[in-house]
């Protein structure tokens, strides 16, 4: 009997499922995908189980929220200074949309170990590895450092990150010259602080593009003294996000801003304060330099996107930004408080030769782990 092409839903695609930081996603070898990228979105939607109006993605590998609906494509480098290429895809949970507009800092920690496991790069059987990753979405470079143990990316270690149970082996990430990842400028509007909204809805905002475009508001300007995940607040935040998207040049008008959901991310910052994390851990004001609540793809983020944390690491050092106005003094490392706990980040910020701000790098440490390998069906 002649070979029969499997029907939709039964077509296999080699894949590895990994956790990277506080996210999870499907890792794919670019060589296993169609050469025509126009075919990728339908494959990714089917693999993740999107769109799902029930917000559960039960018919795929997604987990019903943005941080569990991610795909990373890794392949040989197209950049002379990099070892591998990395393309990040954010798969919408409820709509038939796949966006390649932004970056995912958390899943970046899975990219190097995945490439080593897949044999896309030459690494020692044991010992330290340093790779340079080309993020094709932003054109930026990421230096990733991790260890191999017995021919396998190291898993066991003493590093704990808030939002992930247990501990693991560290994966260091240095985002090199990360400013202007999408817009070409650290402050796309030329302002360190400006006003979004009108009348009583007006709020102070900092619109930044570092690692990924972000919008930071001040919690008290929103009339809040704590985070309330209600429909009215989320609608207001989305309206402000769309306005910022147009100002930053990410979208040309309201409809395009509404359709582009992955960037810019928006959230509000607050002064260091005591609160209880999602794991019932009591955090003190002195445990953090700044607090943040971020919205990702229309939902309240349970932790903080790494790219947003890196953006904050630079913002608190730049006078005139909203984050700098509420942050406590730092000693080089910025401790960002978020619903799951604390994330420590750093940024090398200096005055540029022409009087502007130069961000040489922004850094964070994560853990990652291969969860399973096989075929995902689409």
Per-residue pLDDT tens over the stretch 153-189:
999 999 999 999 999 999 999 999 999 999 999 999 9
| pLDDT reading at 35 higher than 60 | yes
Q: Specify the CATH class of 194-364 in words.
A: alpha beta
Say what percent of the chain tops pLDDT 90.
92
Residue range 143-163, pLDDT digits in tens: 999 999 999 999 999 999 999
| pLDDT reading at 97 higher than 50 | yes
The pLDDT of residue 230? 85
Instruction: Give the CB-side neighbour count of residue 274, counting CA atoms within 13 A.
Output: 2
| pLDDT reading at 250 higher than 50 | yes
Residue range 273-284, pLDDT digits in tens: 999 999 999 999
Can you tell me the distance from the alpha carbon of 211 to that of 71, in angstroms, rounded to the nearest whole number? 18
Residue range 193-205, pLDDT digits in tens: 999 999 989 999 9
> Where does the chain hold its CATH 3.10.310.10 domain(s)?
12-181+367-377, 194-364
The pLDDT of residue 1? 45
Residue reference for tokens 């089917």: 46
Can you tell me the distance from the alpha carbon of 43 to that of 26, in angstroms, rounded to the nearest whole number? 12
Q: Name the average pLDDT for the chain.
A: 96
Domain 12-181+367-377 has CATH 3.10.310.10: yes
**Which residues fall within 8 angstroms of residue 318, CB to CB, at 6 or more apart?**
192, 324, 349, 357
Residue 4 confidence class, pLDDT cut points 50, 70, 90: confident
Can you tell me the distance from the alpha carbon of 164 to that of 20, in angstroms, rounded to the nearest whole number? 10
Say what percent of the chain tops pLDDT 70.
99
pLDDT greater at residue 225 or residue 112? 112
Can you tell me the distance from the alpha carbon of 249 to that of 313, in angstroms, rounded to the nearest whole number? 23
78 within 8 A of 85, measured Cβ to Cβ = yes
pTM, two decimals, is 0.95
Lowest mean pLDDT among 4-8, 30-34, 326-330: 4-8
The pLDDT of residue 2? 52
């Amino acid at each position: 009997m002649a070979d029969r092409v499997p029907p939709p839903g039964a077509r296999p695609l080699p894949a590895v499922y990994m956790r990277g930081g506080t996210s999870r996603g499907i890792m794919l070898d670019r060589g296993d995908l169609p050469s025509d990228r126009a075919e990728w979105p339908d494959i990714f939607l089917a693999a993740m189980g999107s769109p799902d109006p029930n917000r559960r993605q039960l018919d795929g590998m997604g987990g019903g929220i943005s941080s569990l609906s991610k795909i990373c494509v890794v392949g040989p480098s197209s950049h002379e200074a990099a070892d591998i290429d990395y393309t990040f895809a954010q798969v919408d949970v409820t709509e038939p949309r796949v966006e390649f507009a932004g970056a995912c800092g958390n899943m970046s920690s899975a990219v190097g170990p995945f490439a080593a496991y897949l044999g896309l790069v030459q690494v020692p059987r044991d010992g330290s590895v340093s790779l340079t990753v080309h993020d094709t979405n932003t054109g930026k470079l990421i230096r990733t450092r991790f260890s191999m143990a017995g021919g396998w990316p190291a898993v066991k270690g003493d590093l704990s990150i808030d939002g992930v149970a247990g501990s693991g082996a560290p994966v260091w990430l240095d985002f090199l010259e990360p400013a202007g990842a999408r817009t070409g400028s650290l402050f796309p509007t030329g302002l360190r602080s400006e006003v979004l909204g009108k009348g009583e809805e007006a709020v102070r905002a900092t619109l930044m593009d570092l690692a990924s475009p972000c919008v930071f508001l001040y919690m008290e300007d929103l009339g809040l003294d704590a985070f309330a995940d209600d429909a009215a607040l989320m609608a207001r935040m989305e309206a402000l996000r769309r306005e910022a998207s147009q100002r930053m040049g990410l979208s040309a008008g309201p409809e395009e801003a509404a359709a582009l959901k992955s960037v810019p991310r928006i959230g509000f910052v607050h002064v260091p304060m005591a609160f209880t994390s999602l794991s019932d851990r009591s955090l003190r004001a002195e445990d953090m330099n700044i607090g943040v609540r971020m919205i990702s793809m229309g939902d309240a983020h349970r932790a903080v996107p790494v790219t947003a944390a890196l953006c904050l690491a630079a913002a608190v050092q730049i006078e005139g930004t909203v984050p700098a106005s509420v942050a406590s003094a730092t000693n080089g490392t910025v401790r960002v408080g978020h619903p799951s706990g604390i994330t420590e980040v750093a940024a090398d910020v200096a005055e540029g030769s022409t009087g502007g701000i130069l961000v040489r790098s922004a850094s964070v440490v994560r853990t990652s782990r291969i969860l399973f390998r096989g075929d995902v069906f689409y």
